[in-house]
Amino acid sequence: MAKTVESEVQKPAPIPRELDSDSSNVQQDRRNSQTDSHHNEPRSSQRWFHWHEPGATKADKKLIFKLDFFLLSYSCLCFFIKQLDGNNVSNAYVSGMQEELGFGPGDELSWMNTYFSIGAIVGGPISNLALTVIRPRYLMPSSFYGLRFCIGFFEAAAWPGLQYVLGCWYRKSELARRSGLFVMSGVLGQMFSGYLQAALFKDMDGKAGLSAWRWLFIFDFILAIPVVIYGVIFYPDTPETTTAFYLSDWERNRARQRIEEEGRAPVGKLDLTVFKRIFVSWQLYAFSIAYALWCLTCGSYVLQFFGLWLKALGTYTVPQINNIPTSMGAVNFVFMISTGYVADKIGRRGPVCFGVGCLLTFCFAVFTAWPASIQLKMAAFILSGCYGCYTPLLAGWVNASCGGDQQLRAFVLAFMVSLGSAVVIPFQQLQFPSGEAPTFTRTHGWVSGLCFVVALALWTGFGIDIIERVATRGKRKEVAPKENDV
């Protein structure tokens, strides 16, 4: 039986002569590694501290290295630029843009976020479904409120689209860490935006007759140009459509095999059946609810609230107001790496999500109580940076649970982001209007945020696992009678 399976796996992947030096013994290595994985339990340190799956061959490691170098690097650079752009608005707002453009003391920053979200809602599902038929390397690089809408619309494919392509190449046990690194690049973009604005305020304010906050957007544009060029040349598309010059024929075939071995070979087409496949799936509803709950905590805007609070204290300079909130990014960095690693190792994301939810509950409890202690509130703001690890955990969960249905996976990734953005628009305006920052006493913003944090922790910690088990059990019951009839 083992020989039969092995021969079926090897048939579509003939090894060309140019790889003989690297993989002449690949077949024997794979047989040996499979035997070792069953009979020799690795030491606990080896189980936890390795980048590849146990028993990975030299040729597989070389393939994964290329994917990490080209696919993951572009994904990280692209998301870095996206988050740099998104956070520039907040940093510019507290660094002179509000006064220079005459926005006044109202909720203008909240409205900027709103119009950006509307563009992302409209563009997300459409662009992600388009990725299943259009090569990603062509689609991905592609008044103030109106401008924010356009930016949101054209950036809509960035997060769900890049996560979709990562899911096409990496195994389930590799996804959480890579997704964490990918989203972490956005955190670095947020941090870099603060440092860049602080430096520009100090050295570029007034140069060429432009304010420092205007230079921030100019530098953002300049940094994006090489990333676009890099993506067009080196982005590998998907395993089924790739023409990447740095992948050999054997590596292209092996990339497809790695996904097929997990039962995630691409199935389905972008036809009328896609509606049934999507709307009767448990994934669409379970993950959309999860992402909506995450958005309803307004955790992604806490960085803005942190800056507004520091500004309201009146004791910090503009560079300090831009620099201090980047400490949230440092916390996010640690949680992105650690939670992704733990999720990959234990093969479950629910317990990890619940643990993070408990810490986030403590932070929002502090915000709700709003104690007199500045130190305690400062610590709560900084620790709330842990919220960001939810997005790579949920994205990896979607990629792993949708099997080979590419359209289902693409749509769920995009729809959950669009739904989250849709529900947060009225919620942000009603509960977290920037004019009420930082206490939101009149609108009870932190109280409602705390309620949604608790709901998020319970839903991602236990709810999704329960739904998946019930749905899987139901499918087994449907298949069993058919097998018995045969």
For residue 159, is pLDDT > 80? no
Query: Residue 89: what pLDDT?
Result: 72
Both structure tokens of 293:
């709950």
Contact 425, 269 (CB under 8 A): no
Give the mean pLDDT of the chain.
79
Contact 425, 117 (CB under 8 A): yes
Inter-residue long-range contacts of 169-173, CB under 8 Å, 24+ positions, other chains counted: 169/67, 169/71, 169/236, 169/238, 169/239, 169/255, 169/259, 170/67, 170/399, 171/53, 171/258, 171/259, 171/262, 172/262, 172/264, 172/347, 172/396, 172/399, 172/400, 173/53, 173/344, 173/347
Query: Residue 56: what pLDDT?
Result: 83
Contact 464, 400 (CB under 8 A): no
**Rounded distance between C-alpha atoms, residue 155 and residue 86, angstroms:** 10
Contact 380, 366 (CB under 8 A): yes
Query: Residue 476: what pLDDT?
Result: 64
Query: Residue 110: what pLDDT?
Result: 72
For residue 19, is pLDDT > 70? no
Query: Residue 104: what pLDDT?
Result: 61
Both structure tokens of 240:
């089924």
Both structure tokens of 125:
């599902």
**Rounded distance between C-alpha atoms, residue 164 and residue 293, angstroms:** 21
All residues at 6 or more sequence positions from 449 whose CB lies less than 8 Å from its CB, including other chains: 296, 297, 298, 299, 364, 367, 368, 431, 432
Most confidently predicted of 96-110, 200-214, 251-265: 251-265
Whose tokens are 């089924």? That residue is 240
For residue 20, is pLDDT > 50? no
Average of per-residue pLDDT across 252-266: 89
Average of per-residue pLDDT across 291-307: 88
Query: Residue 18: what pLDDT?
Result: 40
Query: In angstroms, what CA-CA distances link 68 with 72, 159, 175?
Result: 5, 17, 11
Least confident of 2-6, 216-220, 237-241: 2-6
> 308-346 pLDDT, tens per residue?
899 889 899 888 887 898 888 889 888 988 998 888 888
**How long a stretch of residues is the chain?**
486
Instruction: Give percent above pLDDT 70 in the chain.
Output: 78
For residue 290, is pLDDT > 90? yes
**422: left (phi > 0), else alpha (psi -120 to 50), else beta?**
alpha
> 472-485 pLDDT, tens per residue?
886 666 555 555 55
Query: Residue 24: what pLDDT?
Result: 42
Instruction: Name which of 409, 407, 387, 389 is nearest 399 in CA terms.
Output: 409
C-alpha neighbours within 13 Å on the C-beta side of residue 142: 19
SS3 label, residue 267 = strand
> 91-115 pLDDT, tens per residue?
777 677 777 777 766 677 777 777 7
Average of per-residue pLDDT across 290-297: 94
